[in-house]
Structure 1
Amino acid sequence: MADEPLSPEDLALRLADVYLLVGPLYRRVLRKVETGEEIDGVGAGVRMVLDLLRQGGPMTVPQMGRAQALSRQFVQRMVNDAAERGFAEAVPNPAHRRSSLIRLTDAGRTAIEAVIARERGLLGQVGGDLTQADVDACVKVLSCMLDELSDVDVD
């Protein structure tokens, strides 16, 4: 039955189908947004940094890496790119002298808000007569997958 839990074997097969769709979907949305009206310097990595800072406030590079399951080195490169473009800046961290907090600048906030608006415009065009229940189920599935893999180390 469609409403009964799947066996572990069947669940694995169905979740593999979901997993194989997530990567290409993510990359296509990013490419579509990046090829729209130009916002200089906001590629996928810089976008991730700016959105983390928008949502969570000032953070350290290691905190951002853990939040996105990315290496500190990669995040540091993206932070450096964002800072070079005037989108983010390092400020003293009262909790740790050697690990600065990174925060959005006004230009960074403007840039990420423009990117998010463009993404929402694109995603609002998705068809399929999707319902709130459909989207809730999708979010539930992806959240369960992410939670189960939360112990995967990226460094």
Structure 2
Amino acid sequence: MPDEIALLVADIFEAAGALRRSGEATAAAEGQTQARWQVLSVVSDQPRSVPSAARRLGVARQNVQRIANELTKEGLTEFTANPDHRTSPLLALTPEGHRVLAAITARAHASHQHITARIPDADIAVVRAVLQGLTAAVRQPDGAGSRSEPGPA
């Protein structure tokens, strides 16, 4: 019997690649990239410092800084004073940034509806629960907490 977890991991990577390509196409329709879309999105609910945005996205601060600078030059974001840290300004969306993000989000919603049209909502909920459990297990250092029996001493 094949190693089911290895096959699952391969399926996840394949799905992630397909979703990444779909996301790039969605963002490109509004003149953006998926990375830029992610930065716009991460500061859409509240202004964040670049390091905070990078942590939330799980990417390098330098990459977010480069993208933030580009978005600011284009008028989609702006840097504002950070009352908690004078040398780390907050990145916020401008009205144009909100407009662009809303357009990308609308396109993404339509794309998601098309992608999932033949997949029942209950199946999507089950897959999400399984992926969340898998992610939690992977995040446990050395699998700690995921065993039902103590490991070797």
TM-score by length of 2: 0.79
Distance 1:48 1:151 in 2: 26
Pick aligned residue for 1:106 from 65, 77, 95: 95
- Larger mean CA deviation between 141-150 and 122-131 belongs to 141-150
Deviations 1:52-76 (A, max 9, x none): 111x310011111111110000011
Pick aligned residue for 1:140 from 95, 106, 129: 129
- 1:18 maps to what in 2? 11
Pick aligned residue for 1:75 from 64, 68, 73: 64
Q: 1:86 to 1:32 in 2, by over 3 A?
A: same
- 1:29 maps to what in 2? 22
Gapped regions of structure 2 (runs ≥ 5): 142-153
Q: Is the 8 A contact 2:27 2:37 kept in 1?
A: no
Q: Is the 8 A contact 2:47 2:92 kept in 1?
A: yes
Q: Percent identity?
A: 24
Shift of 1:96: 0.6
- Give the total of aligned pairs: 140
TM-score by length of 1: 0.78
- 1:3 maps to what in 2? none
Distance 1:102 1:22 in 2: 31
Structure whose CA Rg is larger: 2
Gapped regions of structure 1 (runs ≥ 5): 1-8
| Pairwise CA RMSD | 2.3
SS at match of 1:94: coil
